[in-house]
Amino acid sequence: MKNIDIRMAGVGGQGVVTAAHILGTAIVNSGKYAVVNPFFGAEKRLAPTESYVRTSSEPIYDRGEILYPDIIVVFAPEVITLGKSHTIPFYLGLKKGGIVLINSEQPILSEKDKAGLDAIGAVVKYVPASKIAVEHTGTALATNMTMLGALCGTVDLVDLDLVMTAVEERFSGKAKVVASGTSAALDEAQKRNFEKDAKMAEKNRTAINKAFEFTKGQS
């Protein structure tokens, strides 16, 4: 496995940081290395939020912001349409041939953005992650789960079963990670949406699988 650097971008309250922690946990549990760093800016709901995941088969010493990602995962269309991003344009620094995965039911890139991404040979994929989340869990709060599934269906980062295990650990309280106030609040909000943790985990698994299948079918 070569080094893969992932920049996740969204807005506060979407669980971008939670998703990054879950992905990092799954990768580490697979026997590889991962480093996760969140960046909040103003830590409030709907404010721009980013999280960075570095993965490798060898020890990783870099920390902090990822300036030149291989993959950009856009959790909220507003990152692009309203400029709710710490990076302008949102794809700044994307490596040649890089991948952009966008949560949207339809194309939302401007002609300028399309031209910029075409110039570096970027691959752009859309996934209706929020729609899948609502359909299979009853809440858009699970969009972070469906984006994880979509990412794993797009790139061979880690076995999907390990992602499922990391999700269960996260929401059962077994995961040894430190969450921000916003991230922890999201976890609690998700728990309140279901009568039992087991029911929540099962719905999350279904949603992750559906998003995984959606992007896998596009490959």
- pLDDT > 90? residue 183: no
Residue 202, Cα to own-chain centre: how many angstroms?
Answer: 19
Tokens of 169: 């650990």
| The pLDDT value given to residue 201 | 78
Average pLDDT over residues 167-181: 59
- pLDDT > 50? residue 17: yes
- pLDDT > 80? residue 119: yes
Structural domains in the chain, CATH included, are 4-216 (3.40.920.10)
Burial of 128 (0-12, 13-18, 19+ CB in 10 A): middle
How far apart are the C-alpha atoms of 53 and 51, rounded to whole Å? Answer: 7
Decide which of 78 and 180 is more confident: 78
